[in-house]
Structure 1
Amino acid sequence: MSYYNGMNAEEISRLPHDNRTGDTITAVVLCMFFATLAVGLRLYTRHFILRGVWYDDYFALAGMVGMLSNGIVQCIHTGYGLGAHVYDIHDEETLVQFFKLLYVMTITYNTSLMLIKFSLFLQYYRLIQEVPHYRIFYLATMAVVGGWLIAQEFTLIFPCSPIQDYWSFRPGRKCLDSNLIGWMNAVGNIVTDLIILALPIPVVAALNLKKGRKWAVLGIFALGFFTCIVSICRMVFFAKISNDLSYDLVPVAAWGEAESASGLICSALISLGPLIRRFSRYFNPVKKTTNTPPKYSQKYFGATNPFSRHTTNRDRTNISRKPFDGSETELNRIDLERSRKPDGQDDGRSIRSTKSAESITNLKLNLETGIKTIISSGNRDSTHSQSLAMAPNGIVVKQVWSVRNREPDEEDD
């Protein structure tokens, strides 16, 4: 701030006076919207589809609250100088409020990231907890990284002694080097992100999955590395901060909000598989087709048909145990006598029904059409079995079209 002390109004008027308030609010609102949507879909999937919400989901919810809090603080912060040039903040009270909100913003930013990383830790632990030796290594790594995150949190909460010195300008105040704390925070976040995201890769690579599916799973986990890229972008803008803190802080704060949002979105994508599969069924319905006309299939091959695919195993067992003796059944009880050959060539092992209860409409060609259902049993030397495929239980059912000449004096039944 002292860089601008002693400058007169004419010198200040020649400096730029643009404002980044609109950019800050736009970036924050977009991050908040997409992250909240992702977490909402994750909780819906876990509760309503998988019927199980675990600790990682609760930490994700807490991380979302921290992310929303950080975004709200940033939007309020724009009313106290965030996005404006520091030489445009003429009121000392406004400057004090600026540093108070900056203190709160750093804590909400770090707290949200800490909760999101714990959520990722627990989410990956839930997936690899069945691997005993690697589980111990994972828990040890989680303890080390968790200790670092908590220590970082305490450093940001107590940067000065007393804390009020953070936003006061009294001489001789006792505070830690804010530049050093910022670099430790930025580098520490990148390192912990890499550690958390790299931990489950050896377990996933060792899974007994098809090559394509294994790469798909690894790709889902690799989405988390996008958070590392966002952290690097934030660190780049942090390195460009000058004495014009209120103006240069805008991209750092926006990328910090994007870092929390990307962590929530990437962790939610890992859990959305069941939800995507459920909704894909509505857009890709499986249509079943049949070659049997509907009016005949419902009557002769419905639920009462012992050879229907809807027949239970118990019914099929009972049918297979009963020998076929040529008696009437549901399939051949109609026009049974008309279907027998007059010369007595039936051997008792086959029954033919040449006409259905309702004949298909005559085509005015003096022909009568219908459906012929052939049921045959016996050995493969049987006359009727030679042209039909023999079923394992010795019973063959075949449905064919039948056409016969219509006698001139024959009436419709």
Structure 2
Amino acid sequence: MASDNLAGESRASQVQAACIAFFVLSPLFVGARIFARVKVRSWSGLSWDDGTLVVGWIFSIILSAMVMLSCASGFGKHIETVTDFNDTKDLSLILKYNYLAEIFYKLSINTTKASIILFYLRRFVTNWFKIACYVMLGVVLSFMVATTVGTIAQCTPIEKSWLAPGGSCIDIKAFWYANSGISILINVIMLALPFQPIHASSLPGGQKVALTIVFAIGAFTTITGVIRMQTFEWAGLDYTYNVDWLMWTVIETNLAILCGCVPVYRPLMAYIFPKQFATTSKIRPGDNRRNTLAVFSRSEVSLAPSARAKRMSRISIMPHRKPGGWDHDSEKGLDDLPLPAPPGIRDPNAPPRRSSMLRDAYVWLNTVI
């Protein structure tokens, strides 16, 4: 009777639900990211960070497929109902699928991290920050190679990983703990990197807070990594029934991809909701206005038009920009928008137009503020 009760228990649906959910969500997020890039700069807007994230997403799909096949083979049931002492065929098949899932987990999570670092390099311009990103990129790629090779060669011969007779294996649980601990440390460093450049930028306070929140979304990946690490203690007890570690593996991998897509969505939101996400209500990228901001005294405004234009060309300065801030060049942010001249100052070569001083002052103040 007890055996019959055990045979009816299965936790496979928990893992399958996570896989199916991300089978739906991940393509939507990745597709929206590609659309946002292409909408801003056509296909030339795509770069290495987009390509590596797509590769990481493909690895995550293979990971989820291996997990689904493992569940179809009996993963999620009690180990007593999966096999007995005379037949370990089903357990061997489950271990083989889980072995492949672990390999693609290492490839997917680290490729996604590399994509995020490449995104940093595309958006921030400070020299020290670029050097730090290149160092982190080297660490992530080296860690990916080391952990992938370590997972493949965790047993000698390799077939020992799915219960082949003979040979030996490393302490697999200790290897899991070491891999997760280093991965979480890398996540924390990557989360901390953008805060200083954002703080040093010339963006308004509200935009700084918004950017900080966007990049802090990656903390969810770190949290899932910590939760996954805590499930290792029970992974070896009734191995096929304790599915938590594999379920959180799927969640962590796909959540990293989703978080990696979010910072790219501002142009997409501006396209869907132009009023809510427009940088300014009066100036648009591509306007043919002078990219200058001049300061004039009352006496200088009374000068003849030609003298004012000459004076303007001498004292005009580029809009102030703190070094090492957020780089809007590829998305035409606030710092890159051309600003009109102050009211009363016009280019003498410009065609005549009917406009009151009051309207000119309103447009100028609304643009600068």
Map Cα deviations across residues 141-183 of structure 1 (whole Å, 9 max, x no partner).
3223332232111101111222112113424x12111111111
Native 8 Å contact 2:6 2:81 kept in 1: no
Which structure dedicates a bigger proportion of its chain to helix? 2
Match among 91, 105, 113 for residue 95 of structure 1: 91
Match among 15, 34, 43 for residue 43 of structure 1: 34
1:85 equivalent to 2:78? Answer yes
Which structure dedicates a bigger proportion of its chain to strand? 1
Q: Which has the higher contact order (CA 8 A, sep 6+)?
A: 2
Partner of 1:277: 270
Native 8 Å contact 2:120 2:133 kept in 1: no
Native 8 Å contact 1:32 1:261 kept in 2: no
**Equivalent-residue separation in structure 1 for 2:350 and 2:6 (angstroms):** 90
Amino acid at match of 2:208: K
Q: CA deviation at 1:213?
A: 1.0
Partner of 2:328: none
Match among 55, 63, 68 for residue 62 of structure 1: 55
1:109 equivalent to 2:102? Answer no
Map Cα deviations across residues 11-44 of structure 1 (whole Å, 9 max, x no partner).
7557574101222211111122212211110011
Partner of 1:177: 171
**Equivalent-residue separation in structure 2 for 1:176 and 1:150 (angstroms):** 18
1:227 equivalent to 2:231? Answer no
* Larger Rg over CA atoms: 1
Please give the residue correspondences for 1:8-407 in structure 2 after superposition, counting only pairs within 5 Å. 12=3, 17-51=8-42, 52-90=45-83, 91-128=87-124, 130-171=125-166, 173-248=167-242, 250-281=243-274, 316=352
**Equivalent-residue separation in structure 1 for 2:236 and 2:132 (angstroms):** 42
**Count of aligned pairs:** 284
Partner of 1:4: none
**Equivalent-residue separation in structure 1 for 2:209 and 2:357 (angstroms):** 46
Native 8 Å contact 1:85 1:244 kept in 2: yes
Q: CA deviation at 1:125?
A: 1.4
**Equivalent-residue separation in structure 2 for 1:134 and 1:109 (angstroms):** 28
Q: Which runs of 5+ in 2 are unaligned?
A: 279-348, 359-369
Runs of 4+ displaced beyond 4 Å: 10-17, 282-285
Q: TM-score, normalised by structure 1?
A: 0.64
CA distance change for structure 1 residues 125 and 314 in 2, over 3 Å: closer, same or farther? closer
Q: CA deviation at 1:140?
A: 2.0
Partner of 1:401: none
**Equivalent-residue separation in structure 1 for 2:18 and 2:104 (angstroms):** 17
Percent identical among aligned pairs is 24
What secondary structure does 1:270 align onto?
A: helix
Native 8 Å contact 2:12 2:76 kept in 1: yes
